[in-house]
Amino acid sequence: MTHLIYSISPAWSAKFNYWFISVILHLKCNSIQSIEIDNYKETNEVVAPAANQRVVNYTTRDQTIWTSWRIEEKIYKSHRDPLPSKARGLFTVHEDGVHRVVVRGYDKFFNVGETDDTQWDAFREGTEGPYDVTLKENGCIILISALSESSLAVTSKHALPKVQDDEYSHAGVGYKWLCKHLASVHMTERDLAEWIYHKDITLVAELCDDEFEEHVLEYEPANRGLYLHGINYNTMEYHTVPMDAVRQVAVVFGFFPPEYISLQNIQGVEDMSQEMQRTHKFLGREVEGVVVRCKKGGKDFQFKIKDRQYLQYREYREVTNIILSAKDKKKDAKNVWKRYEKTSDYIDWLESLIQTDPDRLKDYRKKKGIISMRKDFEKEIKSR
């Protein structure tokens, strides 16, 4: 067999590389420009922190001081003490005597039935469609904003790591995944930073990485990383980007895109909720639940619907941590509060496991082994 060997001169190689890079840059420019998100003109200044708000200052990579606002959970539900912003995840920079928003999470939102505003009757009377129903990934929130036109700041809900790629912090692991996602579509940090900077927005993603830490539901290696599920304007009042645009941004910059459906009326949402509670799945996947985005009084509004099976699984994790902590302190934990009847069986199973195989639980509170423990218990229950 004759093998043909093609030799390319250095000059032609250089021309090809130049052409290839030009094509990539052209495609990048076109894909970024194709994203349909308007700039939002509204104040991004907030008043100084009040007594019921805890603030922590962080020094960014460019030596700017950013302030993280952490508000007591009970305040979000209170109508007696109105907040300048209900953002859960809020960073500001102090300039010219005012605090300017630089990172903005979602307004705090609640599960169905948790507040007066999240009753089905309230939805029917006070909300407007369409209702975008998004799959709720089971990880931790990561917020992505721009420090400048060339660099990004990646934070958790309330913290910015001293070193941006700190492998032990949520934000650091989130940043590493962000770099991987960008590289997968031939994008750079500068590409994303420049776009975010000029739009004055925050990307909201879910970090799902079982190697870093387990939550309740399992993510196989191929499905680990950052799931983009929201884009918020850096404004005092809550303004978020439509889901079709969020999906477009995810595709352009290499994130896992949001999975969602759009329903025209609240009855469709309620029917979907009942089906999810029956199958414990949404769009064919086992889920934590869904987030529903709509309008209320003409403004952006959202609520969540947690799956009951997920809540049962989460209770296993909670009681395990309580019992292990009590064992360390040599206390009795038999009177652990339980919401679900099956949790009593789980506690009996867990107590037996502690006696027979204590090493199995040595890394549990480091968020390792949570999923396999739950699976083993469920398997045993089904075999009885």
Residues linked to residue 57 through DSSP beta bridges, in sequence order: 67
Beta-bridge partners for 281: 286
**351 Cα distance to chain centroid:** 33
Active-site residue (options: 136, 157, 176, 306): 136
Query: Rg for the chain (alpha carbons), in Å?
Result: 24
Distance, C-alpha 128 to centroid of its chain: 25
What is the rounded distance in angstroms from the CA atom of residue 277 to the CA atom of residue 290?
Answer: 11
200: left (phi over 0), alpha (psi -120 to 50) or beta: left
- Residue 136 is a catalytic residue: yes
178 burial type by CB count under 10 A (0-12 exposed, 13-18 middle, 19+ buried)? buried
CA dihedral sign, ordered 243, 249, 255, 257:
positive
What tokens appear for 284 in the block?
């064919």
Q: How many CB atoms lie within 10 A of CB 305?
A: 23
Inter-residue contact 113 to 274 (CB < 8 Å): no
The answer to whether residues 376 and 382 touch, using CB atoms and an 8 Å cutoff, is no
Indicate which residues carry an active-site annotation.
Answer: 136
